A and B are shown apart, each in its own frame.
Chain A
Amino acid sequence: MGNVVIKTLKYSIGASSYDTVGSKAMQVKKALRDYFPSKDYMRRLGVCVFEAEANMAIHTTSGGELSIVIYTNRVKVVAVDSGPGIRDIDKALTPGFTTAPEMALQLGFGGGVGLNNIKRFADCFWLESTKCGTTLIFEVWNDDIT
């Protein structure tokens, strides 16, 4: 039952599209309202989607794609971009470490805690990166539905 896909949403995120970061997270929140009424669940998922959007806007050279796969008991998010990739994943996961450009920092992005926020609020976290691009996959489970 838990593996039944209800719906899949796909979004394109542009490089340096700082002004729209958070808009996809809000669209996801609206689209999922009927399936996941738990506010706590939507806050956890919202943080993760917001951070995935922000990472693509801040760090990619040509943007990326965000796929949101909605199952009956969880949401799986796949974020794929085509570079330039994360040079050192361990460093990128160190709280406070950032390679964000000055423009992003001035807007309050790039504090070096985005990936950690996803790790903290998601139930599964997988990250792979080469200079050809990065794939980030995470899942947020709704424990109220088994």
Chain B
Amino acid sequence: MMTLRNLIDHLELVPLTKNIDMNTSFFNAYASDLLSNALAVIDPNTLWITVQVHGNILGVGSIKQCPAIIISEGSIPSQEVIDKANEKDIQLLASQLPTFELSGLLYALLKEEQCG
């Protein structure tokens, strides 16, 4: 299991929401900008990487109890969306990296963690 603390340190992610629980653990991630695909795949152990920044991502994250949503490619949600995420205890992180690169780095970290 990897924690958000490891991830933020290694990938220089920027927390967007308050009170990020650094001990939040996960062992998988899923990258997609299609909401239905995310709804089908993500779960409480799977982070979601997307460039979507509208409020509907919070619905997906809340329903699937996603441990955190990483907004890639330098996209930043509006303050309204960030406030709603705080209200609903959904953890949002941001990365300047393109989704492909971020996914590759995260995959390597997870493999290293799992295989030692």
B39 close to A109 (CB less than 8 A):
no
Chain A interface, number of residues (Cβ within 8 angstroms): 25
- Nearest CB in chain A: distance from B90 CB, A: 11
| A contact residues around B50 at 8 Å (CB) | 108
Q: Which of B54, B55, B64, B88 contacts A47 (CB 8 A)?
A: B64
- What CA separation (Å) do A110 and B68 show in the bound complex? 24
Q: Determine the distance from Cα of A42 to Cα of B64 in the docked complex, in whole angstroms.
A: 9
Which partner residue on chain A sits nearest B33 by CB separation? A108
Contact partner of A108 (CB less than 8 A), chosen from B34, B40, B43, B88, is B34
Distance (whole angstroms) from the CB of B89 to the closest CB of chain A: 12
Number of cross-chain contacts by CB at 8 Å: 73
Q: Is A139 engaged at the interface, CB distance under 8 Å to the other chain? A: no
CB neighbours (8 Å) of A23 from chain B are 59
Q: Is A64 an interface residue (CB 8 A)?
A: no
Please provide the 7 A-B residue pairs with the shortest distance between their CB atoms, ordered closest to farther. Answer: A22-B59, A46-B63, A111-B34, A113-B36, A108-B35, A111-B36, A47-B39
Q: Hey, which bits of chain B sit against chain A, CB under 8 A?
A: 33-37, 39-40, 43-44, 50, 52, 54-56, 58-60, 62-65, 88
Please report A residues at the B interface, Cβ cutoff 8 Å. 18-19, 21-23, 25-26, 29, 39, 42-43, 46-47, 50-51, 54, 107-109, 111-114, 117, 120
Known: A21-B59, A107-B56, A113-B34. 6 other contacts (CB 8 A): A43-B64, A50-B39, A107-B35, A108-B33, A109-B35, A112-B36
